[in-house]
């Protein structure tokens, strides 16, 4: 496992967060009021709204969930649950893959040293 592959895996994780944040922004455009926040931004300030939803997405993907931005509609709640599960599955598979590659590499090194 090279450093490039590890950085690529991190980039994919961050791209997941960006994709979900734009999906949330699209949902909020289609169904206004799908999300509630402790500090509301104006409906006309699209960039601030996307940044707020990006923050929500990152907190959901990492399953931190501070609770200052909440999904209100059933669609938003379903999407948030899917994102949280996806984030956990991604990390689980990534760690399992890294451990598996490390074991294979260690076994290959031992067999070369034993020859």
Distance CA 24, CA 53 (A): 7
Q: Domain spans of the chain?
A: 3-114
This model's pTM is above 0.85: no
Q: Architecture of 3-114 per CATH?
A: Orthogonal Bundle (1.10)
Distance CA 68, CA 12 (A): 26
Distance CA 29, CA 23 (A): 10
> In terms of DSSP H, where are the helices of 1-115?
3-30, 46-61, 74-114
Q: What is the pLDDT of residues 9-64, one digit of tens each?
A: 899 999 999 999 999 999 999 999 999 988 777 667 888 889 999 999 999 999 89
């Amino acid at each position: 496992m090279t450093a490039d592959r590890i950085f690529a895996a991190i980039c994919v994780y961050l791209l997941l967060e960006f994709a979900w944040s734009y999906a949330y922004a699209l949902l909020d455009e289609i169904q206004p009021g799908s999300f509630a926040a402790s500090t509301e931004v104006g409906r006309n300030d699209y960039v601030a709204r996307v940044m707020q939803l990006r923050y929500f997405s990152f907190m959901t993907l990492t399953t931190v969930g501070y609770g200052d931005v909440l999904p209100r509609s059933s669609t938003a709640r379903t999407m948030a649950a899917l994102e949280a599960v996806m984030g956990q599955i991604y990390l689980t598979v990534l760690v399992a893959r890294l451990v598996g590659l490390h074991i294979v590499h260690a076994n290959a090194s031992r067999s070369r040293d034993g020859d």
